[in-house]
Structure 1
Amino acid sequence: MPNSSYLIGLLFSILFFFTSTFVKAQLLWEISGNNLKQKSYLFGTVHVGDERVIDYASNVYPYMDNSLTVAGELDLNFMTSILAIGYIMSPSDSTLSKLLTKEEYQEIKPYLAENIGQLAPFLDMVRPIFIMAMLQEKEQEKLAQSANTTKENATIEKFPALDMYLQNRARKNEQKVIGLETVKEQMTALNSTPINKQARELYNYIVEKNKAKQNLDVQDSLNIEIDVAVIEENDTTLVELKNSPNPMETLISLYLSENIELLHNQISGEFEKESYQSLIIRRNIVMVKRMEEQMKKELTKEDKKSKKNIIFAAVGAGHLGGEEGMVNLLKEAGYTLTPIFFNKKEKIKK
């Protein structure tokens, strides 16, 4: 699977992939020990707003709602969005039309117009990595709509990405919301991939999508022919037509199953060493440091009396696992991390 299939995860972080070599299938961790007076929690998210993901996250509400502070990778507020714009826009000498050949740019313009709509004319000024994120989001919306067309009186509820959804809940509960990274820190990491390489990945992604659509059209024609064909009684040939797997849907399925080890194996071969250091390892170190600052703060008498958790940190699950993941970094710092297993999985929507 090409690297471009995973670029959606780079909009807020490497949000869509997560690794673990310690406890199989676990996303929520209790943090205690190391002279902490009250507990804290670390939760792995996936940065999409799929209804199944939102439903699954309800498992963590008892832990999150009882916390003094809720942290994300970023504090996802209006000002954060404004500050991020400067990092999303391409330099004037490195717009998409200048990074690709004239022929290549003209080749992908119809796809961008079809899938992005009215914003398509402005995409030339946006860094390719964020164009990819927009395309993947639109693709997931179409999949959700398609899945609901067979349901009687079906309505599609639009959810924000899980990270935003949890922060909105925390604000409604009048909890303190913070970011474990600054906008500059995160956006600098996301843009560590050279912009010319981003453009090439985007171009290859769209070319692959166009080819897949053409193949699907051919398959539809074959299906029609097969339906009207006279099949001899002794013909045992099985005709099986499979669509190419959608990386976003695969991600959601793996997230809901909490199959962290499989995801780790899948992603380990996708990143170049320097990209992995920039996008995952260095950020893990920063976020653990910021968590420790919160956990070690002197609590007020009121906070001590409340017995509430100090901090509930919800970050992309890709930051949890591995030898240099946040779980292991916290262990190495002297904390005790205990996995929390949910008991509501039978209620998760498939």
Structure 2
Amino acid sequence: MKNILSVITIALLSIFTTNAQKLENSTLWKIEGNGLEKASYLFGTIHITCDATLDEDVKKALDETSQIVLEIDMDDPSMQSKMMQGMYMKDGKKLKDLVSESDYIAIDSLFKNNMGMSVKMLENVKPFFLTAMLYPKLIDCSMQSFEAELMKVAKEQGEEIKGLETIEDQLKVFDEIPYKAQAQDLARSAKDNLAYDKASFAKMLEVYKNEDITAMIEMMNDENFTSVSEHQDELLDKRNENWIPRIGEFAKVQSTFFGVGAGHLAGEKGVINLLRQAGYTVTAVIE
């Protein structure tokens, strides 16, 4: 169960995306001005990957900063228990209530084939978390994450990980998005045994490798992922807006390395543009 919860934690981060406006191809950005005594850095991560090796410019930025802030405080000892509490649907809802009988059979088969267990054991889990359990099956390698690498750096440097929001904030999003929309995505994945999802994720990994944060976001508007494409206000926009004053508070106290999903960076309502609107100078760090 602990491994499943770890996968879900990473997957929680992965789903959040937004609309895009073209920016330089870079996942590392420098934040200056607006009263900051020292520069801070904003790094766009991808939460599930085959290779989470940190580039030299990212390592340099980590050396130049004195604290690391991620989307959530991932070394919070109470995070696993909070995750357990937030996994389940409200009002006694079950997966069978959300999909047709044929779709349910397809989903059950998907879980038996990929997880070695029947979905009947997870009837009241939110459909998004059921999908999240399957994320490691989208790549043909051992799953790595940049968040894990950043946490290693924090430990080496004796720094405590901090968060822009709480795990409760993130879990709440999946009560705002209709369970039926979440279940629709899961049923679609089941019908071709994750084939479409694997192809889409392979493309995303390539786009991320090229540091094309605009293209990365644009492809996440895929209508085949209903719970993402139709609910980006909850998934991203509102959260980005909430983050801006918190980023400012952290950066004014000390030079900070912010690590958030690359899907948060670009777009009219992306973190880069919102920081610029708030008076900060945000520039791409390009090798």
TM-score interval, normalised by the smaller of the two chains: 0.7 to 0.9
Aligned to 1:231: none
Query: What amino acid is aligned across from residue 60 of structure 1 in structure 2?
Result: V
Residues of 2 paired with 1:9 and 1:263: CA distance? 21
2:16 and 2:264 in contact (8 A); partners too? no
Counterpart for residue 277 of structure 1: 233
Aligned to 2:250: 294
Identity of aligned residues (%): 27
Secondary structure at 1:55's aligned position in 2?
coil
**Offset of residue 104 of structure 1:** 3.1
Query: What are the superposed Cα offsets for residues 41-70 of structure 1, whole Å, 9 maximum, x if unpaired?
Result: 00101111422xx12545411111332110
CA contact (8 A) 2:22 2:266 kept: yes
Which residue, 299, 309, 322 being the options, matches 2:267? 322
Matched residue type, 2:265: L
Asked if 2 retains the 8 angstrom alpha-carbon contact of 1:31 and 1:42, the reply is yes
- The answer to whether structure 1 residue 260 and structure 2 residue 191 are counterparts is no
Which position in structure 2 is the counterpart of 1:93?
92
Does 1:336 find its partner at 2:277?
A: no
1:41-80 equivalence runs, <5 A: 41-51=41-51, 54-57=52-55, 59-77=57-75, 78-80=77-79
CA change 1:21–1:101 in 2 (3 A) is closer
C-alpha distance after superposition, 1:62-111 (max 9, x if no partner): 11133211011011123222212222122362121332344432333122
Q: Could you report, residue by residue, the CA deviation over 1:264-307 in whole angstroms, capped at 9, with x for unpaired residues?
A: 4323464778611111111001112211111223x6xxxxxxxx
> What SS does the corresponding residue of 1:24 show, helix, strand or coil?
coil
Partner Cα distance (2:16, 2:152) in 1: 20
- 8 A Cα contact 1:44 1:317, kept in partner: yes
Distance, in Å, in 2 between the alignment partners of 1:163 and 1:29 is 17
Instruction: Work out the CA distance in 1 between the residues paired with 2:172 and 2:241.
Output: 15
Residues 154-165 of structure 1 aligned to structure 2 (within 5 Å): 158=142, 160-165=144-149
Matched with 1:185 is: 169
CA spacing shift, 1:281–1:107, aligned 2, 3 Å: closer
Q: Deviations over 1:176-209 (max 9, x none)?
A: 3100011121111244220122112211210132
> Does the 8 Å contact 2:214/2:267 carry over to 1?
no
Q: Residues of 2 paired with 1:32 and 1:260: CA distance?
A: 21
TM-score, normalised relative to structure 1: 0.71
Hey, what's the Cα distance between the residues in 2 that align with 1:29 and 1:188? 29
Q: 1:125 to 1:168 in 2, by over 3 A?
A: farther
**Is 1:13–1:190's contact at 8 Å kept on the other side of the alignment?**
no
- 2:256 is aligned to 311
Count of residues in correspondence between the two structures:
276
The alignment partner of 1:81 has SS state of: helix
Deviation (angstroms), 1:248? 1.5
Contact 1:193 1:275 in 2 (8 A): yes
| Closer, same or farther: CA 13–127 of 1 in aligned 2, 3 Å | same
SS at match of 1:296: helix
Query: 1:155-186: CA deviations, max 9, x gaps?
Result: xxx45422132123212321131000111211
The structural deviation recorded for 1:35 is 1.7
Q: What is the correspondence of 1:56-205 to structure 2 with a 5 Å cutoff? A: 56-57=54-55, 59-77=57-75, 78-91=77-90, 93-118=92-117, 120-140=119-139, 143-144=140-141, 158=142, 160-205=144-189
Distance between the aligned counterparts of 1:15 and 1:101, measured in 2?
Answer: 25
Paired residues for 1:223-238 under 5 Å: none
User: Bigger shift: 190-199 or 8-17?
Assistant: 8-17
How far does residue 15 in structure 1 lie from its aligned partner after superposition?
A: 4.6
Report the secondary structure of 2:207's partner residue: helix
Aligned Cα RMSD in Å? Answer: 2.8
Q: CA deviation at 1:319?
A: 0.8
Aligned AA for 2:176? S
Instruction: Identify the range of structure 1 (330-339 vs 97-106) with the bigger mean alpha-carbon deviation.
Output: 97-106
Report the CA distance shift for 1:339/1:330 in structure 2 as closer, same or farther (over 3 A). Answer: same
